[in-house]
Amino acid sequence: MKPVLLIDFGSTYTKVTAVDVEQGVLLGTADSYTTVESDIGEGLNNALAKLHSKTGELEYQARYACSSAAGGLKMITSGLVPELTAEAARQASLGAGAKVLKVFSFQLTEDDLEEIRAIRPDIFLLVGGTDGGNTECILHNARMLASIDFDFPVIIAGNRTAARECERILAGHEVHVTENVMPKFGVLNIEPARKKIREIFLGRIIRAKGLSKAAEVISGILMPTPSAVMKAMRLLAEGCEGEEGIGDLIAVDVGGATTDIYSMADGMPQDASTVYKGLPEPYDKRTVEGDIGMRYSVRGIVDAAGITRISRLSGLKPARCEELIGLISSSTDMIPEPGSDLEKLDFALASMAIETAVARHAGTMEETYTLMGLTYVQSGKDLRQVRQVIVTGGSLIRTSRTGEIAAHALASAANPMSLRPLKADIRVDRKYILAAMGLLSEYYPVTALRLMKKELEYDGYSEQTNS
């Protein structure tokens, strides 16, 4: 036996997963409340005690960890045009596992500086201009940043003509220069910025989050938790040497405060009658809906779906829905009893959380008439041919209606211009192993892939809905 421990320091729970990498077997999983305010090791020890009560004591060959504790990796980005360099910066940050709290476009103002001071991000990503293009904006923004006191690192990933001048302007601060996120018009180059964000997370951020105590007992905090999930999803889709993947997929993690969406697909137009509008999106895309969550952000679900839709899906009267929504907004740790009104409400809320978040993540299509006749214009990713949907989150793993909820990720006759999957197999991460498998894949990719194929529970096949 060759046990490896995989740890996810979450904002609420610390989750541990033990894997025998020699036999390729999942030994067990457990969790406990994260104790980031005191000693984060307490929560880890509590989770390990639960795990070892199932598995017996284990002598681990290695311990790897990821973290979203203490608010996760908080970032601000600043670019030139909202739809171009600013969007490229946002994609780079989200792909690295960050929570993007603000995206500034064009030149920073004094009011913007006040907002930056108030947010106090972990990292500031400064971009703007294609290589050889506009330098005025990024240089202005560097000067504006230099005019305030701050202690967060700045990554410069804009016009290479101005990059070193920006570095000189920001002398005295921690500054990192990497390749332009958009070197040519409409061309994404976000991987170098992603890599730099991860390096800073490994070095500086784990100390700032109070995780250095835990670092003494683990082999290394490798990445932010969303980055680990992203890595797992890419491995599951593409496969690796020695093991095939399952193909293009969408993954949805419905949480109490946010809903994260991942897609592994090219997503470009499928036929010659469709033209693409806007910046091409990455194959491995992540979005975070900060206003969509089952408890802390429940009002965002209601605002997006409407109380009438929530009432119809739950089978409860609107007044009863409002009563329960008010209750869970103030008591965010409530877990529904089987058959209760709250369980019925949670079904509706989770369904609408998935529908809303995936619709925002996916692209859209619109019709237009040109001299050549009817033409379709696509914005964002076309996910209609994706055939795998992976779901996780408390509201999906604690119910027998997971497949019904997950089906709301699919295309709907009520919103025909949304480019969501037309049909898909539904798989459920009931044991919360996705982040753990992303960690494991750094060293044992074949084992991680085989475990995901085995442990992600098949929960039926769904097609386009009429809702």
- Binned at pLDDT 50, 70 and 90, residue 380 comes out as very high
The least confident of 222-226, 252-256, 416-420 is: 222-226
- Binned at pLDDT 50, 70 and 90, residue 33 comes out as confident
Token pair belonging to 391: 């779901």
Per-residue pLDDT for 332 more than 90? no
Q: DSSP for 57-121, please give it.
A: ----SEEEEEE--TT-EEEEEEESSTTTHHHHHHHHHHHTTEEEEEEEESS--HHHHHHHHHH--
CB 163 within 8 A of CB 130: no
Distance CA 453, CA 424 (A): 16
- Whose CA is closest to 434, among 306, 249, 243? 249
CB 52 within 8 A of CB 32: no
pLDDT at 208: 54
CB 85 within 8 A of CB 61: no
pLDDT above 90 covers a percentage of the chain that reads 75
pLDDT above 70 covers a percentage of the chain that reads 94
- Radius of gyration of the chain measured on its C-alpha atoms: 23
Amino acid letter, residue 245: G
CB 7 within 8 A of CB 30: no
- Binned at pLDDT 50, 70 and 90, residue 124 comes out as very high
User: What's the N-to-C CA distance of the chain in angstroms?
Assistant: 50
Token pair belonging to 265: 């697909």
Within 8 A by CB and 6+ apart from 408, the residues are 351, 352, 354, 355, 358, 465, 467
CA distances from 405 to 171, 257, 391 (A): 52, 18, 10
Per-residue pLDDT for 36 more than 60? no
Distance CA 150, CA 436 (A): 34
Within 8 A by CB and 6+ apart from 143, the residues are 169
- Binned at pLDDT 50, 70 and 90, residue 78 comes out as very high
pTM of the model: 0.90
- Whose CA is closest to 284, among 384, 402, 194? 194
Residue ranges of domains in the chain, CATH in brackets: 3-70+209-218 (3.30.420.40), 73-204 (3.40.50.2300), 238-463 (no CATH)
Q: Which is more confidently placed, 203 or 193? A: 193
Burial of 41 (0-12, 13-18, 19+ CB in 10 A): middle
DSSP character at residue 12: S
Token pair belonging to 397: 């793993």
Which regions of 209-292 does DSSP assign to beta strands (E)?
220-224, 239-240, 243-244, 249-254, 259-264, 274-277, 284-289
Burial of 441 (0-12, 13-18, 19+ CB in 10 A): buried
Per-residue pLDDT for 280 more than 90? no
Dump pLDDT digits (tens) for 147-173.
999 999 999 999 999 999 999 999 999
- Mean pLDDT on 255-274: 92
What rounded mean pLDDT belongs to the chain?
91
Q: Which is more confidently placed, 71 or 116? A: 116
Token pair belonging to 333: 């740790």
- H helices present in 306-340, as ranges: 307-314, 318-330
CB 135 within 8 A of CB 159: yes
CB 344 within 8 A of CB 399: no
Q: Which is more confidently placed, 42 or 61? A: 61
Dump pLDDT digits (tens) for 220-250.
667 888 999 999 999 999 999 999 999 999 9
